[in-house]
Amino acid sequence: MTCECMEMIGYAAAGILALKFGICFLTGFYRRFLCSPTNVKKMGQWALVTGATDGIGKAYACALAKKGMDIVLVSRTPFKLQNVAAEIEEKYKVKTKIIDIDFTTDAAVYKKRLEEDLKGLEVGVLVNNVGMSYDHPDYYLGIADGEKRVTDVVNVNIASVNTLCRIVMPAMVERKRGAVINISSMSAMIPSPLLSVYAGTKAYVDVFTQGLQIEYAEKGIVVQCVLPGYVVSSMSGLRKPTLIAPMPREFVASALARLGVYSRTTGYWSHDIMAFVVNMLPFGIGEKLTFDQLKGIRVRGLKKKAKNQ
């Protein structure tokens, strides 16, 4: 190959990179400064939030109530649901409805109940937030309660999302408006050793949601996948906010501001940076760093478990 050909190839490659950078810059500028988030109140009167009694789920319920939406709170424990419902009604002066569901059970059973309880409600926003992981990171064959825990994680993280979408979305399609927010995890972006089942289920949520967004955009439905990093919650085990682990209320305010602007997002600025760095690392490096980090968390988890026994 001649020097002239090599030079032309170099110019072409540089041109393509410059074009891609320009498109990314203009797209980012438009989304950041010119594009407005979805007005959730126009989607319908009610918002349904699963896993609504703690962390990100409760924060979504409160944020949507603050915008004037009535809230359907779905979670496992009636007592907690009643407390959150009372808190929201008192603070935001909206209606609430509580539905206690254990998502580890057969989806066919709770699907019928949800369909009955939601009759007559115009659900404009669905937040599939309920999630389940292990007690601590662990090797696949060492997961506590083994087969049952793995089945429960799959049922809670995947079956619940499928079921709720099938219940709520038909009416949205008929009205030609609605919003679906599916909560995944940053652990779904690359293999996450010692969280293989959890990360695998969240990867399903990510790819499933991207498909829904393409399928139903023309039907007037806004579909968004949120892939958060660490957030202060009972699931993460974090109690104090840091630069990379915001409080749920702060995280949700940021994520809702991106609804209708980004169909796939981490939801928060510091998580954006983390995801960018992870995606830029050479193949295998990110996985190795993740593995080492989770090994340390596993050791601490095992020590805590031994201490409590």
Residue whose structure tokens are 């993280």 = 157
Contact 156, 130 (CB under 8 A): yes
Contact 48, 123 (CB under 8 A): yes
Residue tagged active-site, from 198, 216, 262, 268: 198
SS3 268: coil
Angstrom distance (rounded) from CA 272 to CA 261:
15
Instruction: Tell whether the torsion through CA atoms of 301, 133, 280 and 183 is positive or negative.
Output: negative
134 tagged catalytic: no
Residue whose structure tokens are 């937040």 = 127
Angstrom distance (rounded) from CA 42 to CA 44:
6
Angstrom distance (rounded) from CA 30 to CA 24:
10
Contact 254, 269 (CB under 8 A): yes
| The token pair that represents 14 in the structure block | 């540089």
SS3 92: helix
Angstrom distance (rounded) from CA 214 to CA 34:
22
Angstrom distance (rounded) from CA 269 to CA 265:
10
> Which positions are annotated as active-site residues?
198
